[in-house]
Structure 1
């Protein structure tokens, strides 16, 4: 042992300090029975000004007998406007997800479809941490970079380079009797306008038109504690912000503090061939020689009960430890509740494919008399929320664990006015074949069935499923007219498609509603099996991926299981509202039904005691549906198929749409749109409303020409022509322009006068060519925003469009004085020639 030789002065000072220390120890010992001794606090290094030491008080002086106490993973003590959190030391370092929502909205804060009960206004993961000076830190966690294996050196390195921000500091006011928990005064924090428990970003308040919180008109209504969550409800008043509609806004906000599972669910790595929502992070463990963006599918945790594991392995259906339960908002109209419940319960068959029975179901929320503690805002409950709104929509979001993708809860939003949308859809798509759809107000059975379909679709999203816009493209169009086939197999293999209803069916096909409605089908059941089948014979998600990948590859030999993403910009198979494997055939049948409907629209919408507003709305729906059929066809022009594959699968991933199909698409547009569709100008209707057929038609034609002649589509055609991706004949941009020339100016080539509606079409076409050759937008800005492919072909595209415009001008000049043409046509052609010359003279950029 080393001994230090002390000088007399130092020795004397040491004696004084020792005596003082002994005296202090005796005083602390004497005081022990009167005041709780806090456990040692391990200090963290902090940046900036150090927090002032907290002055500790006796527990009994802070938490008094007249307080109301809620016991949960955090104990909450409350008295009037005072709120104290008793946070166990065992909670330190555990991940807590805080989710904030609008609990009760103000009608004045609406912004489009945002600003209603249930809208989420914040979500982040936090962690309590003991700090120096008797304070508690609340750190905000980020999972954008990740190393999950704590045994590897990389874990420590990632942690050092990913310091989690301190979001708040709370002074410790007391310790409980055995020093196992700290007490925090949360009153001021919960009353403030903070970004942890309320609006997490200024953007949310801006969207609602909110300014600063008005403290004298804001207060905390209650704080409730539960085993795994704490619920904070606050009444908030905000000053009017941008575009105010009132002097201020009062709302109720709810914050859920959810303790994330300590034993994390095993994540499932994404397979792009199965359409699940995902979460991603940079993973430093997955690739020993680089960094991988690891992506997990978002799913609920379904596991067999311990006593049922062997039954599950034998293939017997078992109930999960924790089923997925949706509660129906008590404010929902009673007559629709059974249909909403059935829309949830319909998914049970899909989960049986994954080995679970009763895995998902819905029930009515308990009444206040049945359970006074039950609340829609309780983060333990998933619910279908009824929204009395004019918005025609429904939504199915979910809240998930950002570490693994495990879904924790979901609120499905069902807007009251979605029924008007359903009525319009079913009317214009099925009234020709279903007599029950030939009226403005459907009977409850029909509307209930349609609500059931919406419920099932939105529940699919809450289970993690994305839209499968490609599913309906796997069905031959003629099968949709085969009564036996379509009633057995359905008009699309997935309810997650936006395939609405079977508009291809014709009256003579005698197809029942079973062949008109969507249903949970082959793809949905297969996708649920992929996502939810439980496996314990693999050690981690990477080993599981090796097991699942060949299963998916083999399953996809069944074409009905194909997934087509809604994010595909050029694939004609991946469209919303479409049906079948041929948009031209399907559109032809759809238009045949629209012709039947428009002839009877006056009779089917007749209201003797009202004006023609509702009839006009339905006529608009007919026009919209017609435009939808046209739009489906346009995607084939310059289109490119994208079939997601792994390296072990044969065939191309990207293929150009066949030459023949693109030619058929252009021919369809000629027949159904560019040749004036006089059937849309139904005289028995148009003389009762202020609409003008010529204006409505021009809008559709302009939209289609803008859709065809846009730089993205045209450069795609140039790429197909020059890059040689396909092996067959390619439909080129030059041939497209030649075809459009012959279609739009057909009369001039035949030496005939041009009708009023066709003259409008020619004006729209020439204006579009002028816009392509002499763009009025900022070219520098436009080019900077283009992809590399876009800019590479820009020069050639300009050449193609200039050549087309020159050709049209030569034809116009040659024909504008032709004596065979009437004066209206000659004047029209002279005007087009004048416009081309004037714009060309003014623009010197080319």
Structure 2
């Protein structure tokens, strides 16, 4: 799931659209924004501007359609009110999507901004862009609130002459037609990457298609046609037309009390520069994203007593009417599965999945009042659960979940490969509808978790002992992972003889998920501000984390960049893994892959079709094998990073156990660097586009990672954890014994092993180059000593080996190392 950033640019006068998407006023019909700002108009009588023939639509701002012009009548009470604008694709060009990103389908969000209207001199209304990235609530003599309010002058996107005044209604009429029709980053694409692909708006092929008003939002449909920029490979694509739906949503006047984020529990959040948090400077404050969940006034005392109550406004998520009917019950169940979690926060029936009321003419997929799971006819094998939230507080206002049709291909491949050895239902070209429905249910629950504000918890699966994953009674009672927000798909550790049912195979909403909802949504009535909540929330976390490992949160964010994807050194924070021991879990997983691989053709062939399904499944099987290697690799040089407050015992940083790192290296030598011939399926190679090169690429990638990334990391850990670390020298020695296992007994070296040994030597030579390895780093010294030892071994081995390919291979490698060690003497 990605988060789109605010992208609003003040309007400038220019001849062509800039990369930021400023408006080309010279090419728009009627008055452009700059022209509108300068135009001197006379205010006319209201009935002359808004005739009786006008089509009037009432909302928080009344919209009048007069011929092809759209007049917005803004009540005085709505001036300076914060309005959220969310733009989505309503209709996309046939057969076209934005390259490199999964954006461009109907329902995709492409822009977001907060605006307000206000009166300015000259009988004009200004449209301001609002940005909420700084905080100060301290209005005292020592606080920064007064200074900050004086500095926070918001940009003006455009000004509009007052056309008429409705004195009875105390409202002002302006014409927004030209603004809506223009190319701007408020209504259309607001993402810089996409705007850079577009050349310019074609005015005579762009128009407002419809405007519809609801009580708290206004929906605008606008068709915009663009010329495309030339492609990098030459040629210019033809123009493209999009229909955008832009929702203007009135933000609440009564702000929800925000809740401060905490790195020990995973919620999406908005960040602010906080001038109150640090008395001698500034700090970063984060408010979590969550729905407004409150009891009805008459139930508040019951809530305080700990009784379950229904919320004043439950979360309702509708299923897109375009969704195939047979999948609707499973998607609804995936939504309703979260009800039990909200009960931990004191609310019953807090979230409800419903079939869209297609017979209700007032219901619309685009209506921002409604949250919808949108079914997309796409070949993208994915799903995502974004949300629209109030940037002032983090309050989630609505969600449009993206559900791509081809996600079923993805889950079928996962299930066939990960569960094929233990569930006969996985052994078919097409899974039966009941099984596919249950797979859809788990994916929908995961995406709903995101819409509730939850981030991925990549550490959840690491809290479960591997032995428990094979214990039928335990795993069926508790599930294989305590969080559905982990990327832990199916129980690949369970063996056929364990007889585990689907209760122990499928992921489910677990203990961590229920705890996260409790922490994020349980009200603290006695606290009046977010800061007053902080000690209470901290106490909850300290106590809960002390009560069991299952409540651990492993961040999805990189600890250095604080962004996604994760690039952590913590072995616990990994995707697609299971259990507390990657070596043991992966060994079980490989045993199951060996059971599945020989049957791919048998299981997945269909009359009248080729063998592409089996080929795709083989690719997924190698991908699964690759993930196992990555899980193990993370243990080498691993450092546990556990955020803590002073009330919690222990350290925040802890080195991975030395013995465990040695086991990881031994595992890679045995399962990866020793040629895995069991993955060599010559029959399948002859029938589909597969090949063993997929495996050799994995070998080389892991090998070079050990030499270029893990070696310097281990050197650093030797300094920081003296006597406890798995040293760089020890790792090189263990790796050497695995890669060159044929040397002492002078065994013949296979082609695959010769290729791997060449990669090793070239990686070692790269470390000897001062251009790539810092001369003041011990990595160069260790690499040079190791290269000298290996060169001598290879020279002796060549002398003992009969002439042939193995002999020539040893001579070649010896000479390469000699040249690298003594470049001037050769």
- Above 0.5 in TM-score? yes
Give the equivalent residue in structure 2 for 1:613. 612
CA-atom RMSD, angstroms? 2.1
Contact 1:51-1:135 at 8 Å conserved across structures? no
Contact 2:36-2:161 at 8 Å conserved across structures? no
SS at match of 1:363: strand
What is the alpha-carbon distance in structure 2 between the residues aligned to residue 84 and residue 621 of structure 1?
Answer: 56
List per-residue Cα deviations over 1:66-88 (Å, max 9, x = no partner): 11111110000113311000001
Contact 1:234-1:253 at 8 Å conserved across structures? yes
What is the alpha-carbon distance in structure 2 between the residues aligned to residue 310 and residue 592 of structure 1?
Answer: 57
Contact 2:597-2:621 at 8 Å conserved across structures? yes
Give the equivalent residue in structure 2 for 1:522. 511
List per-residue Cα deviations over 1:182-224 (Å, max 9, x = no partner): 0011111111112222222442233xx4321111111101112
Contact 2:784-2:821 at 8 Å conserved across structures? no
Give the equivalent residue in structure 2 for 1:230. 218
Q: Does 1:352 align with 2:343?
A: yes
Contact 2:466-2:585 at 8 Å conserved across structures? yes
Q: CA deviation at 1:843?
A: 9.8
What is the alpha-carbon distance in structure 2 between the residues aligned to residue 639 and residue 466 of structure 1?
Answer: 23
- 151 and 335 in structure 1: CA distance in 2 versus 1, 3 angstrom threshold: farther
Give the equivalent residue in structure 1 for 2:440. 451
Match of residue 328, structure 1, among 313, 319, 330:
319
Give the equivalent residue in structure 2 for 1:77. 64
Please show how residues 616-635 of structure 1 align to structure 2 within 5 Å.
Answer: 616-635=615-634
What is the alpha-carbon distance in structure 1 between the residues aligned to residue 117 and residue 776 of structure 2?
Answer: 55
Q: Does 1:342 align with 2:333?
A: yes
List per-residue Cα deviations over 1:93-131 (Å, max 9, x = no partner): 111111111111123233232221222221121121110
Contact 1:715-1:794 at 8 Å conserved across structures? no
Match of residue 724, structure 2, among 724, 729, 732:
729
What is the alpha-carbon distance in structure 2 between the residues aligned to residue 211 and residue 49 of structure 1?
Answer: 24
Q: CA deviation at 1:838?
A: 5.1
What is the alpha-carbon distance in structure 2 between the residues aligned to residue 127 and residue 108 of structure 1?
Answer: 34
Contact 1:774-1:843 at 8 Å conserved across structures? no
Contact 2:337-2:509 at 8 Å conserved across structures? yes
Q: CA deviation at 1:750?
A: 2.1
After TM superposition, the score normalised by the length of structure 1 is 0.89
Please show how residues 535-546 of structure 1 align to structure 2 within 5 Å.
Answer: 535-546=524-535
Q: Does 1:708 align with 2:723?
A: no
Give the equivalent residue in structure 1 for 2:796. 814
Give the equivalent residue in structure 1 for 2:758. 763
SS at match of 1:230: strand
Q: CA deviation at 1:591?
A: 0.3
What is the alpha-carbon distance in structure 2 between the residues aligned to residue 459 and residue 690 of structure 1?
Answer: 37
Q: Does 1:108 align with 2:96?
A: yes
Q: CA deviation at 1:245?
A: 7.2
Q: Does 1:426 align with 2:421?
A: no
SS at match of 2:70: strand
- 671 and 83 in structure 1: CA distance in 2 versus 1, 3 angstrom threshold: same
Please show how residues 343-742 of structure 1 align to structure 2 within 5 Å.
Answer: 343-367=334-358, 370-557=359-546, 558-568=548-558, 569-689=568-688, 691-693=690-692, 695-711=693-709, 713-724=710-721, 729-742=724-737
Question: Structure 2: which 5+ runs fail to align?
Answer: 1-33, 559-567
What is the alpha-carbon distance in structure 2 between the residues aligned to residue 355 and residue 361 of structure 1?
Answer: 16
Question: Structure 1: which 5+ runs fail to align?
Answer: 1-46, 780-790
- 257 and 151 in structure 1: CA distance in 2 versus 1, 3 angstrom threshold: farther
SS at match of 1:805: helix
SS at match of 2:218: strand
Contact 2:684-2:690 at 8 Å conserved across structures? no
Q: Does 1:796 align with 2:778?
A: yes
SS at match of 1:749: coil
SS at match of 1:602: helix
What is the alpha-carbon distance in structure 2 between the residues aligned to residue 603 and residue 489 of structure 1?
Answer: 34
- 299 and 174 in structure 1: CA distance in 2 versus 1, 3 angstrom threshold: same
SS at match of 1:182: strand
Q: CA deviation at 1:246?
A: 4.0
What is the alpha-carbon distance in structure 1 between the residues aligned to residue 43 and residue 821 of structure 2?
Answer: 82
Q: CA deviation at 1:329?
A: 1.0
Give the equivalent residue in structure 2 for 1:170. 160
Q: CA deviation at 1:839?
A: 5.6
What is the alpha-carbon distance in structure 2 between the residues aligned to residue 260 and residue 329 of structure 1?
Answer: 25
Q: CA deviation at 1:287?
A: 3.0
What is the alpha-carbon distance in structure 2 between the residues aligned to residue 395 and residue 672 of structure 1?
Answer: 35
What is the alpha-carbon distance in structure 1 between the residues aligned to residue 606 and residue 821 of structure 2?
Answer: 54
What is the alpha-carbon distance in structure 2 between the residues aligned to residue 104 and residue 594 of structure 1?
Answer: 43
What is the alpha-carbon distance in structure 2 between the residues aligned to residue 716 and residue 834 of structure 1?
Answer: 29
What is the alpha-carbon distance in structure 1 between the residues aligned to residue 822 and residue 229 of structure 2?
Answer: 48
Higher mean C-alpha displacement, 397-406 vs 243-252:
243-252
What is the alpha-carbon distance in structure 1 between the residues aligned to residue 438 and residue 673 of structure 2?
Answer: 38
SS at match of 2:248: strand
Q: Does 1:774 align with 2:782?
A: no
Count of equivalent residues: 776
Give the equivalent residue in structure 2 for 1:135. 124
List per-residue Cα deviations over 1:6-28 (Å, max 9, x = no partner): xxxxxxxxxxxxxxxxxxxxxxx
Contact 1:213-1:238 at 8 Å conserved across structures? yes
Give the equivalent residue in structure 2 for 1:62. 49
Q: CA deviation at 1:803?
A: 2.5
Q: CA deviation at 1:307?
A: 0.9
What is the alpha-carbon distance in structure 1 between the residues aligned to residue 181 and residue 682 of structure 2?
Answer: 63
Q: CA deviation at 1:473?
A: 0.4
Contact 1:210-1:242 at 8 Å conserved across structures? no
- 333 and 80 in structure 1: CA distance in 2 versus 1, 3 angstrom threshold: farther
List per-residue Cα deviations over 1:522-561 (Å, max 9, x = no partner): 0000000000011211121111111111111010121110
Q: Which has the larger radius of gyration?
A: 1
